[in-house]
Amino acid sequence: MIYNAPVRSFVRLLLYVGWIFTMIPVQAVALLLSARLAERIPLLVHRVVVWILDAKVTVKGEQVKEGAVLFVCNHASYADISLIGAHIRGSFVAKAEVAKWPLFGICAKLSRTVFVDRRARYARQQAEEMKRRFERGDRLILFPEGTSSDGNRVLPFRSSLFATAEIEIDGKPVAVQPVSLAYTRLDGIPMGRHLRPFFAWYGDMEMFSHLWGIVGVGRSTVVLEFHKPVTVRDFPSRKALAAYCQSVVAAGVSSAISGRPQSAPAPGAVPDGAAPAPGALPA
């Protein structure tokens, strides 16, 4: 069944809240005892959340698993966090206000999220924090659109958020791996524009009512694709890097939604700063 079922919503929400509150003290203790354990517990947490949501994730491409990596992904919903976090051992980069959100803020802090304040006076401090994280072997996950979309399109990537890609560790630039995430099917039926808002959370949508809806629908199919990694040295500027990553991710989302292969551009094929317009993708 596709549409929201109240009983299913209640059961899944109960499981979700119960699981999160069970793991909050576990992760808090892990942070005190072992950095390695604290990195791995979120993987388990997210995988169970994906199971509760009854989401089938199809993974394509090869994930970079060695060295300092910045994963850059499109963003449609808070559900993206678990769908991505279940497959990448890393820490998310989020806007500072997320730290104040009820429950989600606590979870973000415990999962070692890097909170970014976009005011200029914090730029150097935040860059130093990210460099320290990379030096410790952390991998960071960034949503460079700066907001969430309706899931049918990929918004322009903000080049200012790619400052992290300019960090060098032992004289080598951080690897940047574009990742595309697309909600493609619901109960086996292609998820067109009228179904994707069940998952996409954007604009002025109220969070609890949306969460109630997302836990009440049927089985979703999601495509998570890892694209070829690049570095900032492959481009003439940070803007060119952002434009290239946006183009690659947009092609991946379009391909997953339409079921038709889309050719991703090669590094240097996208003019400096000329990201494609965020036109709607096929339904």
Phi, psi at 234, each rounded to 5°: -80, 0
Q: Is residue 173 part of a domain?
A: yes
Q: Work out the mean pLDDT of the chain and round it to a whole number.
A: 86
Is residue 3 scored above 60 in pLDDT? no
Which whole number is the average pLDDT over 102-123? Answer: 82
Task: Enter the pTM of the model.
Answer: 0.88
In a domain, 128, yes or no: yes
Cα dihedral value 240, 244, 245, 249, nearest 10: 150
Pick from 216, 275, 217: nearest CA to 241? 275
Digit-coded pLDDT (tens) for 228-276:
999 999 999 999 999 999 999 999 999 999 887 776 666 766 655 555 4
The whole-number pLDDT of residue 193 equals 76
- Residue 124's contacts (CB-CB under 8 Å, 6 or more residues apart) are none
Phi, psi of 23 (to 5 degrees): -85, -15
CA distance to 105, 195, 233, 239, 277, per residue, from 114 (Å): 12, 32, 24, 22, 29
- Domain membership flag for residue 46: no
Rounded Cα distance, 117 and 119, in Å: 6
The confidence score (pLDDT) of residue 184 equals: 92
Contact 253, 281 (CB under 8 A): yes
In a domain, 8, yes or no: no
Is 124 within a domain? yes
Domain tally for the chain? 1
Give the pLDDT confidence score for residue 2 in this predicted structure.
52
Q: Does residue 11 sit within a domain?
A: no
Give domain status of residue 26, yes or no: no
CA–CA gap between residue 275 and residue 145 (Å, rounded): 12
> What is the C-alpha to C-alpha distance for residues 31 and 209, in angstroms, rounded to an integer?
32
Determine the structural domain holding residue 105 and report its residue range.
Answer: 55-210+218-258
Tell me, what's the pLDDT at 15?
A: 96
**Residue 143 falls inside a structural domain:** yes
CB atoms within 10 A of CB 96: 13
Sequence-distant (6+) residues with CB within 8 A of 20 are 45, 49, 103, 107
- What is the average pLDDT across 44-58? 96
For residue range 154-172, list pLDDT tens digits in order: 999 999 889 889 999 888 8
